[in-house]
């Protein structure tokens, strides 16, 4: 399926700027320094590896012994969710103003951690679209937001409290049209149940193949990609056959445990279906039934990657206390330990994630013509992937970001000492 392009563009900036660092990861490869990056009007105009000085009119920021990378892309987040509270009561009870305020705070926390693009895959009442409009009107320094709005789900189904209930093909097609009219960038559908909604069955499907096909056909006719939340093996197969552009979680649950279906994996590899690998880590206190799913989950993610499926490391930020909205750098280190090399992991949260979000023509690379979204970190992330959490500087559309949270990402805004996760929600990446 390749790059799922969107048409929105970064607002033009008037300032020129230059940055020098000891080395560069450009989204695909590492270049030992020195490196000089020039930007104008929020776009990169040149990348120099010769040690040359910047031209006149380009103020230089010398980052010293740092590695410069593209800004990170979190392809699965939930800005409206307070990670310290259960999902259902906050989304059924909190007023819009409170939800908007915390979504704004969560976006800011992500940006300070070097996450310059956030794809939100489930809000309430399209509030993230309102947030994006407000941030644009203010010319605020914020991540690029790629938005799905409320996910499509059955009455009483997984995340019904986000407000995207549709029970027939006709209702689903109408909901797709509404999202296009409102300005959403993609459609998300809950193809299976989930663990974080009372009464929902993650091993069961929520929609028929015909209903899934109706959604993908309607969305693609309007230029919108579709990604499907899917834990159950049958739901994954149905979603892939229906032509979805991505599958979130992709757990391959069956009544007998986690069982990967190689035929479905091969179909995904052939179609270029993106997998949103929401990072889950084993933790003390998890029930054995939950812990037993984690090892095969990671084994399956590694198998899909090896078979050529584009597997994107992402977070499901907001779903529990272990998932604050700045957690991607920490999650990336665990992803690299389970699925890929450090270089491939870095590509997964830059160039590959940008493609999954429809922004591969201007995000996820440090190259001329791309947005000047940059992350500078202390250390050498190909040798030590944990260096990605040691933020030295963040640049968004050519503008410096201030107010960095010190210490490892994921331990700053949103996380509090002693916070305890829901074991079930932590097990699967739920929304």
Residue 195's pLDDT is what?
85
Residue 425's pLDDT is what?
44
Per-residue pLDDT tens, the chain, 431 aa: give them: 444 434 444 444 558 999 999 999 999 999 998 999 999 999 999 999 999 999 999 999 999 999 999 999 999 999 999 999 999 999 999 999 999 999 999 999 999 999 999 999 999 999 999 999 999 999 999 999 999 999 999 999 999 999 999 999 999 999 999 999 999 999 999 999 988 888 889 999 999 999 999 999 999 999 999 999 999 999 999 999 999 999 999 999 999 999 999 999 999 999 999 999 999 999 888 778 778 899 999 999 999 999 999 999 999 999 999 999 999 999 999 999 999 999 999 999 999 999 999 999 999 999 999 999 999 999 999 999 999 999 999 999 999 997 443 333 343 333 333 333 344 444 444 67
Place of tokens 């020039």: 38
Residue 12's pLDDT is what?
47
Residue of 117, 80, 49, 76 whose CA lies nearest to 429: 76
Residue 430's pLDDT is what?
64
Q: Which residues contact 90 (CB under 8 A, 6 or more apart)?
A: 81, 82, 99
Residue 199's pLDDT is what?
87
Residues 172 and 217: their CA atoms lie apart, in Å, by: 11
Residues 120 and 103: their CA atoms lie apart, in Å, by: 10
Bridge partners (DSSP) listed for residue 145: 118
In the chain, the domains with their CATH numbers are 16-70+362-400 (2.30.40.10), 72-360 (3.20.20.140)
Whether the CB-CB separation of 232 and 205 falls below 8 Å is answered with: yes
Residue of 315, 308, 305, 364 whose CA lies nearest to 338: 305
Residue 14's pLDDT is what?
54
Residue 428's pLDDT is what?
42
Please write the tens of the pLDDT for every residue from 404-418.
433 333 433 333 333
Residues 33 and 48: their CA atoms lie apart, in Å, by: 9
With 0-12 / 13-18 / 19 or more C-beta atoms within 10 angstroms meaning exposed / middle / buried, residue 29 is exposed
């Amino acid at each position: 399926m390749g790059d799922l392009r969107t048409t929105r563009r970064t607002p033009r900036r008037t300032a020129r700027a230059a940055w020098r660092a000891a080395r560069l990861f450009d989204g695909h490869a590492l270049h030992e320094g020195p490196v000089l990056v020039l930007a104008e009007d929020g776009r990169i105009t040149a990348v120099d590896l010769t040690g040359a000085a910047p031209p006149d009119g380009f103020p230089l920021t010398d980052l010293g012994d740092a590695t410069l990378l593209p800004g990170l892309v979190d392809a699965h987040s939930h800005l409206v969710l307070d990670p310290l509270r259960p999902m259902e009561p906050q989304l059924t009870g909190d007023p819009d103003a409170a939800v908007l305020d915390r979504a704004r705070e969560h976006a800011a926390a992500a940006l300070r951690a070097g996450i310059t693009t956030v794809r939100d895959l489930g809000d309430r009442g399209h509030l993230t679209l309102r947030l994006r409009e407000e941030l644009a009107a203010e010319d605020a320094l914020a991540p690029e937001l790629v938005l799905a709005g409320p996910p499509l789900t059955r009455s009483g189904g997984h995340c019904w409290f986000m407000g995207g209930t549709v029970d027939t093909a006709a209702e689903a097609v109408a909901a797709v049209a509404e999202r296009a009219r409102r300005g959403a960038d993609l459609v998300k559908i809950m193809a299976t149940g989930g663990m974080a909604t009372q009464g929902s069955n993650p091993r069961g499907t929520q929609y028929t193949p015909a209903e899934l096909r109706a959604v993908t056909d309607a969305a693609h006719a309007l230029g919108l990609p579709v990604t499907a939340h899917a834990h159950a093996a049958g739901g994954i197969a149905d979603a892939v056959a229906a032509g979805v552009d991505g599958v979130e979680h992709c757990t391959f649950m069956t009544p007998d445990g986690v069982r990967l279906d190689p035929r479905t994996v091969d179909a995904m590899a052939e179609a270029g279906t993106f997998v949103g690998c929401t990072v889950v880590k084993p933790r003390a206190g998890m029930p054995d039934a939950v812990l037993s799913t984690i090892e095969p989950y990671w084994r399956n993610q590694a198998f899909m990657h090896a078979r050529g499926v584009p597997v994107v490391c992402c977070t499901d930020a907001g779903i529990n206390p272990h998932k604050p909205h700045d957690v991607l750098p920490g999650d990336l280190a665990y992803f690299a330990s389970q699925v890929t090399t450090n270089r491939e992991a870095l590509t997964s949260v830059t160039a590959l994630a940008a493609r999954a979000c429809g922004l591969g023509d201007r995000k996820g690379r440090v190259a001329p013509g791309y947005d000047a979204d940059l992350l500078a970190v202390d250390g050498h992330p190909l040798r030590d992937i944990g260096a990605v959490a040691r933020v030295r500087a963040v640049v968004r559309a050519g503008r410096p970001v201030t107010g960095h949270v010190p210490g490892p990402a994921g331990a700053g805004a949103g996380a509090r000492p002693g916070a305890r996760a829901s074991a079930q929600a932590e097990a699967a990446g739920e929304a």
